[in-house]
């Protein structure tokens, strides 16, 4: 159960090697989390991630999960919930992809869309059903500022996150009153493996800062969290900017 400050005792991470997710896990283990599930594509990296969390004081288990294998979500995640309540599900998987390649090879764009959107819709709904039965729990969805307004330079990723963001908001409304809380997290540029080699955007931040924002959001039962918070007004401006101007911005 979560305590009065929204600190969970059990955590399920979808995308078990995500740097943002692991930073969040470390923070939550420092509070109350004692059971952590890392769901992800089996790899030494996934096992390493589990190995690094264990000494912090949690029982950490890995479970095979592929966002693209939507047919297998029910079974893979069902097993986790069968073992006990999950207080927080962190939906963290996602791929940035390569925009140029995606434009040239539609199959690559489909892979991005299916991972970030279709995969999340499937896994999100499977988890939502179990959370609903529990009557409590939070589903934290890592969306992105990129979904707030699609940019020329990465609109495939951006549109997949826009879809994910809209889906998560709708799911949150659908679950209102069931005891389940859905929180949409919209980070800006975060320095992780995903963005390695890219030039940092303004207001760039770190996985640790996102983790802290997630913890605070859980305490406040926030529905939307921007990281850093300053992105909220910035994106409000960008969102309302006329197309002709937006198109020419160097973003």
Ligand X SMILES: NC(=O)c1ccc[n+]([C@@H]2O[C@H](COP(=O)([O-])OP(=O)(O)OC[C@H]3O[C@@H](n4cnc5c(N)ncnc54)[C@H](OP(=O)(O)O)[C@@H]3O)[C@@H](O)[C@H]2O)c1
- Residue positions annotated with a catalytic role: 157
Select 37 or 189, whichever has its Cβ closest to ligand X.
189
Residues 6+ apart with CB under 8 A from 203: 188, 189, 228, 230, 231, 234
Please, what is the minimum distance in Å from the beta carbon of residue 96 to ligand X?
6
The DSSP output letter for 242 is -
Please, what is the minimum distance in Å from the beta carbon of residue 25 to another protein?
17
Binding residues vs another protein (CB under 8 A):
1-7, 9, 31-32, 85, 133-136, 177-180, 219-220
Please, what is the minimum distance in Å from the beta carbon of residue 179 to ligand X?
25
Separation between Cα atoms, residue 118 and residue 115, nearest integer Å: 6
Instruction: Please give the helix or strand (H or E) that residue 180 lies within, else none.
Output: strand 180-187
Separation between Cα atoms, residue 172 and residue 180, nearest integer Å: 8
Our measurement of the distance from residue 77's CA atom to the centroid of its chain's CA atoms, rounded to an integer in Å, reads 16
Select 193 or 239, whichever has its Cβ closest to ligand X.
193
Select 136 or 203, whichever has its Cβ closest to ligand X.
203
Separation between Cα atoms, residue 17 and residue 39, nearest integer Å: 9
Closest CA to 231 of 211, 194, 201: 201
Please, what is the minimum distance in Å from the beta carbon of residue 228 to another protein?
17
Q: Which does 249 bind (CB under 5 to 8 A by kind): ligand X, another protein, none?
A: none
Q: Which does 124 bind (CB under 5 to 8 A by kind): ligand X, another protein, none?
A: none
The dihedral through the CA atoms of 14, 46, 217, 224 has a sign that is: negative
Q: Which does 6 bind (CB under 5 to 8 A by kind): ligand X, another protein, none?
A: another protein
Please, what is the minimum distance in Å from the beta carbon of residue 18 to ligand X?
3
Binding residues vs ligand X (CB under 6 A):
15-21, 40-41, 43, 45, 65-68, 92-95, 115, 142, 144, 187, 189-190, 192-195
Select 55 or 177, whichever has its Cβ closest to another protein.
177
Q: Which does 182 bind (CB under 5 to 8 A by kind): ligand X, another protein, none?
A: none
Q: Which does 7 bind (CB under 5 to 8 A by kind): another protein, ligand X, none?
A: another protein
User: How many C-beta neighbours within 10 Å does residue 43 have?
Assistant: 12
Select 165 or 215, whichever has its Cβ closest to another protein.
215
Contact 172, 217 (CB under 8 A): no
* Site of tokens 């004081």: 57
Separation between Cα atoms, residue 187 and residue 185, nearest integer Å: 6
């Amino acid at each position: 159960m979560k305590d009065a400050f929204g600190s969970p005792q059990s955590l399920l991470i979808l995308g078990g090697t995500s740097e943002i997710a692991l930073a969040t896990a470390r923070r939550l283990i420092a509070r109350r989390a004692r059971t952590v599930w890392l769901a992800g594509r089996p790899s030494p990296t996934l096992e390493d991630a589990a190995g690094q969390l264990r000494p912090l004081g949690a029982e950490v288990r890995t479970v095979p999960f592929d966002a693209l294998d939507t047919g297998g979500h029910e079974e893979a995640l069902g097993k986790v919930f069968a073992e006990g309540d999950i207080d927080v599900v962190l939906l963290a998987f996602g791929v940035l992809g390569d925009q140029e390649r995606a434009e040239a090879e539609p199959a690559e764009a489909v892979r991005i869309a299916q991972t970030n959107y279709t995969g999340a819709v499937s896994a999100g709904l499977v988890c939502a059903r179990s959370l609903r039965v529990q009557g409590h729990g939070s589903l934290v969805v890592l969306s992105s500022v990129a979904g707030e307004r699609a940019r020329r330079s990465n609109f495939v990723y951006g549109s997949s996150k826009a879809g994910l963001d809209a889906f998560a908001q709708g799911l949150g409304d659908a679950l209102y009153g069931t005891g389940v809380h859905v929180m949409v997290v919209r980070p800006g540029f975060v320095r992780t493996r995903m963005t390695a080699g890219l030039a940092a955007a303004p207001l760039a931040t770190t996985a640790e800062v996102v983790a802290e924002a997630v913890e605070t959001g859980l305490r406040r039962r926030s529905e939307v969290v921007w990281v850093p918070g300053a992105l909220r007004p910035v994106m409000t401006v960008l969102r309302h900017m006329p197309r002709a101007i937006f198109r020419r911005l160097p973003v």
